[in-house]
């Protein structure tokens, strides 16, 4: 069972209960509220590891709720995922400005939700377990970008733009601080994340392949074998055998 706790702030009872059921089945401790004001009370009382919030709610909407969180030093490091039916770029920008780390658009995929939740919490765990972070500022920025973009296959120009640098600077910094090309580093991170998902019980390998940005399950299998000396299926079988023993 996970030791992580998650606060859901959602006024739609069916969606709220669906989210709660999905997360509890996957081992999370879940608190729920129907609006931002209730959410603030619960976050003060329980200090969750992650918040999932809707935007359009009565009493206090999601934007106001997030801004209130970010104004309090006790809560400003808690990651927030927005689940919303609003798909416009302006809505996303407003959510990012308010402090969201990611978005999931309704209707949402259960697997996408779990991938994003576990990815964010794994990064949070890694940060809290590291007494000293030896990563360069460039690597930290690159890792933050990858957190929400494992399933995307961007060209170098787009990655450079997201990191606010030129294409040549991206290549130069990758060689200097990552000792690899940007694409090699992305593949390495994708495989690490895929391996973690397998270890946590995500045995639908084709789903993992696509969610981590590989063009096909066969491409994922070949890359995984090259990195770890075994196929994803062989790795799953090893894990299953260890659990039985």
Residues linked to residue 6 through DSSP beta bridges, in sequence order = 30, 50
Total domains, the chain: 2
Q: Which of 102, 129, 156 is the last residue of a domain?
A: 129
Q: Give the C-alpha separation, 118 to 155, whole Å.
A: 26
Do 9 and 124 belong together in one domain? yes
Do 142 and 53 belong together in one domain? no
pLDDT tens digits along 148-207: 787 788 889 999 998 889 999 999 999 999 999 999 999 999 999 889 888 877 668 988
Q: Give the C-alpha separation, 195 to 217, whole Å.
A: 14
**CATH code of 166's domain:** 1.10.10.60
Q: Which of 129, 145, 164 is the last residue of a domain?
A: 129
- Read off the pTM: 0.53
Do 121 and 10 belong together in one domain? yes
Q: Give the C-alpha separation, 64 to 37, whole Å.
A: 9
pLDDT for res 152: 80
Q: Which of 110, 129, 148 is the last residue of a domain?
A: 129
Do 17 and 116 belong together in one domain? yes
pLDDT tens digits along 202-237: 668 988 988 888 889 999 999 999 999 999 999 988
Do 148 and 218 belong together in one domain? yes
Do 177 and 206 belong together in one domain? yes
Q: Which domain holds residue 37?
A: 5-129
75 — pLDDT class (breaks 50, 70, 90): confident
182-199 and 137-147 helices, crossing angle to 10°: 60
| Eight-class DSSP state of 102 | E
**CATH code of 124's domain:** 3.40.50.2300
Q: Taking the alpha carbons of 133, 136, 141, 144 in that order, is the dihedral positive or negative?
A: negative
pLDDT for res 180: 93
Q: For residues 95 and 63, is the Cβ–Cβ distance under 8 A?
A: yes
Do 107 and 157 belong together in one domain? no
Q: Give the C-alpha separation, 78 to 107, whole Å.
A: 25
Do 95 and 149 belong together in one domain? no
Do 145 and 47 belong together in one domain? no
User: Is 116 a residue whose pLDDT tops 60?
Assistant: yes
Do 11 and 107 belong together in one domain? yes
Do 40 and 145 belong together in one domain? no
Do 121 and 186 belong together in one domain? no
């Amino acid at each position: 069972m996970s030791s992580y706790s998650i606060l859901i702030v959602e006024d739609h009872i069916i969606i709220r209960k669906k989210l709660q059921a999905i997360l509890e089945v996957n081992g999370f401790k879940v608190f729920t509220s129907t609006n931002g004001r209730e959410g603030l009370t619960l976050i003060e009382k329980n200090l969750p590891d992650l918040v999932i919030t809707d935007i359009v709610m009565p009493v206090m909407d999601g934007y106001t709720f997030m801004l209130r969180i970010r104004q309090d030093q006790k809560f400003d490091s808690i990651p927030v995922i927005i689940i919303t039916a609003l798909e416009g770029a302006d809505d996303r920008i407003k959510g990012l400005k308010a402090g969201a780390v990611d978005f999931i658009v309704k209707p949402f995929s259960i697997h996408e939700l779990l991938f994003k939740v576990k990815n964010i919490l794994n990064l949070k765990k890694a940060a809290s377990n590291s007494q000293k972070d030896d990563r360069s500022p460039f690597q930290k920025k690159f890792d933050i970008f990858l957190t929400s973009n494992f399933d995307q296959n961007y060209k170098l120009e787009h990655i450079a733009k997201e990191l606010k640098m030129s294409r040549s600077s991206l290549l130069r910094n990758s060689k200097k601080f990552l000792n690899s090309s940007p694409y090699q580093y992305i593949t390495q991170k994708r495989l690490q994340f895929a391996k973690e998902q397998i270890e946590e019980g995500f045995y639908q390998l084709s789903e993992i392949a696509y969610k981590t940005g590989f063009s096909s399950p066969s491409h994922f299998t070949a890359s995984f074998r090259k990195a770890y000396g075994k196929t994803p299926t062989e790795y799953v079988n090893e894990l299953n055998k260890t659990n039985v023993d």
